[in-house]
Structure 1
Amino acid sequence: MSEPLLSVRNLKTVFKTEDGQFAAVDDVSFELNEGEVIGIVGESGSGKSVTALSIMGLVPNPPGRIAGGEIRFEGRNLLELPEREMRRLRGGRMAMIFQEPMTSLNPVFTVGDQLFEGIIEHEGVGKRAARDRAVELLDKVGIAAPAERLDQYPHQMSGGMRQRVMIAMALACNPKLLLADEPTTALDVTIQAQILDLLRELQEEFRMAVIMITHNLGVVAEFAHKVMVMYCGRAVETAPVGELFERPSHPYTQGLLRSIPHLDHEGARLRTIKGTVPSPFALPPGCRFAARCEHARPACAEAEPPMIGVVPDHEAACIRLTGYRHDLTRATEPVA
């Protein structure tokens, strides 16, 4: 088999604060092939965005740093590259859409100036050619009168239009890997749907690999090929998207799915996951989810559960799965 486009192995990213050091991402591993979409889901503070920033080499140092692991992109370990090489990759071979376009776009420069910068830097073209490319990009992402919009400032555009500009900036140099961090946050549901449809069309057209970071399982269901569920900085379940919805195996994943509102349950009280996420400075021994888990047993507090195979390509970190095994020809069964 060919090498994956992106391979993250045992990634650990830590932050040092006045209260001490904590791991925002702790021993996370996954792979992504060309043209594949992975959804990373979890509550706020689970490590989703820091995982993306680590891949892009954008973890602020200080207070953060990558303390261990490996990030291989197109065969090269990004953690060994000098910063000048990472700058060539960012915006070129790999790009990121940030979750709040109003703060991600510079308010004192026109949209055109911000688009031109990346095109000129990575494509080595003049400003006239960069302007033509920028007009083409804005038209591609569905912005009307693109030539006129280039001379506008971010505050003159709606939230949905600013997000389309961010997508155009990310796609300016035809990246092979796109990281989208909550790309529909703060947009109304109609605009959210339009942005997701646009991302899907562009992903299929350019055969990009995409990391979609979200807390919305509905977005994952309609956009991703596979899913990684994170909790307290760790991956607790990974699976193909259909498999995860059909057979969620970690209690945290099951709780997330149960909390989704259903139209046929009108008037019913929404189910929640009891308790709160523990402080990163006071993580419990053993399974980090145990205090909130309805299936917890004394053994859960003894050691961090490893990822255990449910079926091929589906793993979850729960000791309830210890008696299960892989069988390449049949469904997973308890070991007698």
Structure 2
Amino acid sequence: MSQAAPGGGGQPLLQVQDLRTVFRTSGGDVTAVDGVSIEVEHGKTLGIVGESGCGKSVLSLSIMRLIAHPGRIASGRVLLEGRDLAGLSNNEMRKVRGRDIGMIFQEPMTSLNPVHTVGFQITEGIRVHEPKASKAELRERGIAALERVRIPSPERRFDEYPHQLSGGMRQRVMIAMALACSPRLLIADEPTTALDVTVQAQILDLLRDLQAETGMSIILITHDLGVIAEMADDVAVMYAGRVVERTTARALFEDPQHPYALGLLGSIPRLDEDRERLLAIQGTVPPPFALPPGCRFNPRCPFAIDACRAEVPLLREITAGHEAACLRAPVEESVAA
């Protein structure tokens, strides 16, 4: 994994340790996040990648303590510079959201409130954390936040409503909201979904520039490995509620060790390869209430053997700093076997 940035004191900014998030149903508890452990270094970007339904968004909401009933964090710790957020009261956690951890939610059109102006929503976090701020100060800081995310005519946009903005502008507003109180950690959940390629590139450039400017850390949640390649320092690959591979972004692309990661990479077109057809992972992610025995990926895995259907693989170090939860890793040996 990446080394901590200078000033981090050697301790990661965020450590999630063996986190389990469950939802109560009529058929019993269903585990959506199952024993996940990740680390985010100071000033670095951790990419969390996987198909829809793998538990990425539930993990992010668990970190923010935004899991609504009937969901709950059943066990594990979420340490922000050693402070366990999982054990905080609701009032204490409200002081953390926005100030220490900001979040860009999926789908800005549905995440933004249509009955409030853009300026009101951007300054809401400031009002919560700095109740003595005057109306004039709030407006000044809100306009500055819009300028920061490169929205033209910020004074006019401050008084407009979400429906008056384009999709790219709404996403920039979401970023401005998340960064209004200068958090140390930004969680970006699918920040480029539903945006065209040009706007996507602009949003990623903006996040990279803001990170360089502020030194914040980022958790980038996406299903797009192209975004991971461009933005991430470290990567955690999730499948069916668990982390199945954890390493640096460079190591993942150069030497993937889990068949699921290998399949994801094989589905991406590459200019340096001449292939008539891209690889495809057969099947779909199993729902959390109908998980297969053994390795959860085994029904879709071309390398699965009988042991994969009986034994639950744990994350283990394959090479220095590169972990995978696969009985047959290293991949090269598995393919040849």
Report the AA paired with residue 30 of structure 2: F
Residue 76 of structure 2 is matched in structure 1 by 69
CA distance in 1, matches of 2:320, 2:238: 20
Aligned counterpart, 1:137: 145
* Alignment partner, residue 2 of structure 1: 10
Opposite residue 278 of structure 1, the aligned amino acid is: P
8 Å CA contact 1:120–1:126 kept in 2: the answer is no
State the match for 2:109 in structure 1.
Answer: 102
Contact 2:295–2:312 (CA<8 Å) still a contact in 1?
Answer: yes
1:240 equivalent to 2:248? Answer yes
Relative to structure 1, the CA distance from residue 315 to residue 63 in structure 2 (aligned partners, 3 Å threshold; closer, same or farther) is: same
In the alignment, is the contact (CA less than 8 A) between 1:116 and 1:127 conserved in 2? no
Measure, in 1, the Cα distance between the counterparts of 2:189 and 2:242: 18
> Conserved in 2, the CA contact under 8 Å of 1:229 and 1:237?
yes
Secondary structure of 1:10's aligned partner: strand
Match of 1:296 among 304, 318, 324: 304
CA contact (8 A) 1:308 1:321 kept: no
Structure 2 gap ranges (5+): 1-8
Distance 2:143 2:330 in 1: 56
1:307 aligns with 2:315: yes
Contact 1:308–1:322 (8 Å) recurs in 2: no
**Post-superposition offset of 1:270:** 2.4
Aligned to 2:4: none
Preserved CA contact (<8 Å) 1:20 1:281? no
Aligned position for 2:201:
193
> How far off is 1:279 after superposition?
2.8
C-alpha displacement of 1:100:
0.6
Give the Cα–Cα distance (whole angstroms) in 2 for the partners of residues 212 and 240 of structure 1. Answer: 14
Q: Report how many residues are paired.
A: 324
What is the letter of the counterpart of residue 232 of structure 2?
A
Deviation at 1:267, TM superposition (A): 7.9
Instruction: Give the distance between the partners of 2:271 and 2:34, measured in 1 at CA.
Output: 37
Unpaired segments ≥5 residues, structure 1: 325-331
Map 1:219-258 → 2, pairs under 5 A: 219-258=227-266
8 Å Cα contact 1:11-1:29 kept in structure 2: yes
Structure 2: how far apart are the matches of 1:140 and 1:128?
18
Report if aligned partners of 1:275, 1:292 keep a CA contact under 8 Å in 2: yes
Counterpart contact for 2:53–2:287, Cα < 8 Å: no
**More moved, 69-78 vs 212-221:** 69-78
The whole-number CA distance in structure 1 between the counterparts of 2:212 and 2:30 is 38
Give the superposition deviation at 1:4: 1.4
In the alignment, the residues of structure 1 paired with residue 176 and residue 287 of structure 2 have an alpha-carbon distance, to the nearest angstrom, of 38
Deviates more, 1:259-268 or 1:202-211: 259-268
Distance in 1, matches of 2:266 and 2:297, equals 16
Secondary structure (helix, strand or coil) at the match of 1:15 reads strand
- Match of 1:29, SS state, is strand
Distance in 1 between residues matched to 2:87 and 2:100, nearest whole Å: 17
CA distance in 1, matches of 2:91, 2:36: 26
* Amino acid corresponding to residue 3 of structure 1 in structure 2: Q
Q: Which amino acid aligns with 2:229?
A: A
Q: Is the 8 A contact 2:256 2:331 kept in 1?
A: no
Query: Is 2:100 the partner of 1:93?
Result: yes
Shift of 1:205: 0.8
SS in 2 for 1:27: strand
Distance 2:204 2:285 in 1: 29
CA RMSD of aligned residues (A): 1.8
Q: Which moved more, 1:315-324 or 1:30-39?
A: 315-324
Q: Does structure 1 conserve the Cα–Cα contact (< 8 Å) formed by 2:236 and 2:247?
A: yes
Q: Note if contact 1:305-1:318 (Cα within 8 Å) is conserved in structure 2.
A: yes
Distance 1:65 1:322 in 2: 36
Distance 1:83 1:300 in 2: 41
The yes-or-no answer on 1:277 pairing with 2:291 is: no
Shift of 1:74: 2.0
Q: AA paired with 2:130?
A: E
> Which residue does the alignment assign to 1:113?
120
CA contact (8 A) 1:237 1:317 kept: yes
Per-residue CA deviations over 1:161-184 (Å, capped at 9, x if unaligned) read 010001001110110000000001
Q: Secondary structure at the match of 2:328?
A: helix
Amino acid at match of 2:81: E
The CA distance in 2 between the partners of 1:321 and 1:271, in whole Å, is 20
One-letter amino acid matched to 2:281: I
